[in-house]
Structure 1
């Protein structure tokens, strides 16, 4: 990436090259240091984007008893995350234009740490919900801006950096689900301590962003249009996000396809996290084993979240990957329908592969826009719209299960949703950008 500055007549002529601030060894060392800091920030931030949700799921019964929370309120609490992601995520581009992406992500980590620290100790359901909303607000803006950070600092390594980010996110998700209960037991059985302990990691994620909060620059559109050879990022940019012309994102068919794809894959993921253990338990699988099967499904995202984005960026069309993930989803749902207990481990693995549509969607966000502001707008639009689409899915599965008295209809619904997911995924995977589509209409 290059920083465009006004050049003097001597610079435009044939004067011999000298060590300018941009080309001096000191500037190179500063850029390398900043790059490493951004990588650490991305990894630590990604680790904190799901523990607030999965740690609560592990202790939900204790939280309900401790706060006197009704079943309906507890059900509402499990539906709040996608709603908050949709509502707060749409504000991220505007905040990034005003304060800079790094500053907003830093503030997001502060919000996550604060919410996680105070929510167990407020002593009321209303306070718990308010602190959870603060945490989810931080997660929402960070969700949207992670692809922007990757595009800005590593435009030539979108696949590998998205893979690292997605792998860390999957690791944080599975880690919180697996160790929250043992940690709670180790700390005397206090559910308050078991939830609050995750604020420590969130607090650590604030630190790498502090030296970068004053950097309000973004990658220029012209820099995004051409292949980038150097793997360094600027310390300061003269072109800011606020100086870029906003993309009319709703005029892009690719943006809509990506939003629906994001929503359908999120629907499948939330259904899997919320209902898969119950499917196995109703089939006769012991409760402990059912929990391990869910952990296996989530852990599959750790290695594949690194591999899939790297493969996706090497293909001119990401449709084949969408198809492979969809076929794995069909196979997993068919197994749950016909032999849920007999092949439980195979179905858990297949659904774990299918759920890796999430890192693919994030990768396509970075590939379907050329400029930093374009990525910010596309990320906010796709994620906010997508999370709104995902809200009814888990609730509908619960209604069908209760009304039909079995899992036949809910599993049929899950499998049926894979068809539109594959179709819109193919459309979103075409080699084009939202800037070109928006300007052509």
Structure 2
């Protein structure tokens, strides 16, 4: 009976965590699918509308970094409440955004909520799930942006049509769903109180001030940070430029461009599932880490060389698959390092991703400059270079999974 109750509790937790995080991820890049509509609505140019997409990274970075300290004091349940509440309200602000300034205010509020979700998801996975379940949940966590992008580019325009041409209602839908998940979370999940850092067996201090001090001393965390920054630069630029690449360089319609862009996240989903299968079967992480970077390098070159031929589409698929195949092991590795606790894992997630989002903040500017200076295709080709840096970094990391122990 006790096992059944525990299983039911975990099932409820899992459903609410997955749904809430998924809805938050959808809102991250959702405006990208209707940028031309936003530009027409507010009478702004492409550079300004790009700011509306990237402005979220400032609050995301800030609240990712401070979120670990907040979570250590208020606990996991309240942390998720704060995340869903601010994120959901920020998304729903699209309904009252009668100016571009109000649109940006809503995006900032959403960014706060999303930023708080990062330390939450890392700590939650380590706190509530066993090692085998952690691999599964880390894979799901890695797949969120790819499933989200499938919905963004596949469903946003139909939703605009469904809501009578209102892109505001289309974007706001996901905030409404976040609030529904929030209500279910408040009712269905017991508050376990603050999540304190477990004492290590060493004499090293583990007070709150040492959360980041501990993790930045770890070589594996720094390597993952470097690789993720490089990854997010290429991911952001390609995500931003790919639909416009098909429209401007090849004259495709917005609907066709969005449909072709779906190759990218769909291939990413396949990559994440492959990563899960490989990790579960072999217990190895490092191979997937460097393989993903290598796939992106080759894929970016193929997009530029192949253009709208089969080779070009294969390049998009290769970049998408490479982008995701290395993310599940990236999330798993910090959990396998010695002396890591839920709070420290959450902090590691926050540090790694906040640095990536810092790069993501400047990525639209870089993308705009590259596309103005060169063709959109060549701008995508240049994404191979940060991926190459990520490849070199991942080759330097040690194997942390059980596969390393089996080998020895």
- The bucket for the TM-score relative to the shorter chain is 0.7 to 0.9
Q: 2:241 aligns with which of 275, 284, 294?
A: 275
- After superposition, the Cα gap between the structure-2 partners of 1:354 and 1:81, relative to the gap in structure 1 and judged at 3 Å, is farther
**2:245–2:376 contact (8 Å) kept in structure 1:** no
Instruction: Give the length in aligned residue pairs.
Output: 391
Match of 2:406 in 1: none
Which digits, 9 at most, give the CA deviation of each residue in 1:66-106, with x for residues without a partner? 23344443121122233332122112101111111232112
Q: 1:180 aligns with which of 143, 146, 156?
A: 156
**Match status 1:354 vs 2:322:** yes
Instruction: Name the SS of the counterpart of 1:431 in structure 2.
Output: coil
Q: 2:193 aligns with which of 197, 212, 216?
A: 216
User: d(CA) in 1 for partners of 2:71 and 2:94?
Assistant: 27
TM-score, reference length from structure 1? 0.80
Q: 1:264 aligns with which of 230, 253, 272?
A: 230
CA shift, 1:115, in A, is: 1.4
CA shift, 1:371, in A, is: 1.1
Match of 1:4 in 2: none
User: d(CA) in 1 for partners of 2:345 and 2:328?
Assistant: 15
Match of 1:146 in 2: 121
User: d(CA) in 2 for partners of 1:244 and 1:364?
Assistant: 23
Match of 1:98 in 2: 73
Across the aligned residues of Structure 1 and Structure 2, the Cα RMSD in angstroms comes to 2.9
Match of 2:349 in 1: 379
Alignment of 1:29-428 (within 5 A): 29-156=4-131, 157-210=133-186, 211-212=188-189, 214-216=191-193, 218=195, 221=198, 246=211, 248=213, 249-284=215-250, 286-287=252-253, 288-309=255-276, 311-312=278-279, 318-343=285-310, 344-356=312-324, 357-368=326-337, 370-404=340-374, 407-408=377-378, 410-428=379-397
User: d(CA) in 2 for partners of 1:147 and 1:92?
Assistant: 11
User: d(CA) in 1 for partners of 2:174 and 2:19?
Assistant: 12
Name stretches of at least 5 consecutive residues in structure 2 with no aligned partner.
402-408
TM-score, reference length from structure 2? 0.86
Match of 2:404 in 1: none
Give 1 or 2: higher helix fraction.
2
**1:106–1:213 contact (8 Å) kept in structure 2:** no
Name stretches of at least 5 consecutive residues in structure 1 with no aligned partner.
1-24, 226-240, 433-441
**1:38–1:208 contact (8 Å) kept in structure 2:** no
Instruction: Name the SS of the counterpart of 2:400 in structure 1.
Output: coil
CA shift, 1:379, in A, is: 1.3
**1:54–1:177 contact (8 Å) kept in structure 2:** no
User: d(CA) in 1 for partners of 2:92 and 2:18?
Assistant: 21
User: d(CA) in 2 for partners of 1:309 and 1:145?
Assistant: 22
User: d(CA) in 1 for partners of 2:250 and 2:368?
Assistant: 19
- After superposition, the Cα gap between the structure-2 partners of 1:269 and 1:144, relative to the gap in structure 1 and judged at 3 Å, is farther
CA shift, 1:309, in A, is: 3.9
- After superposition, the Cα gap between the structure-2 partners of 1:246 and 1:339, relative to the gap in structure 1 and judged at 3 Å, is closer
Larger Rg: 1
- After superposition, the Cα gap between the structure-2 partners of 1:162 and 1:176, relative to the gap in structure 1 and judged at 3 Å, is same
User: d(CA) in 2 for partners of 1:334 and 1:60?
Assistant: 27
- After superposition, the Cα gap between the structure-2 partners of 1:170 and 1:321, relative to the gap in structure 1 and judged at 3 Å, is same
**2:92–2:175 contact (8 Å) kept in structure 1:** yes
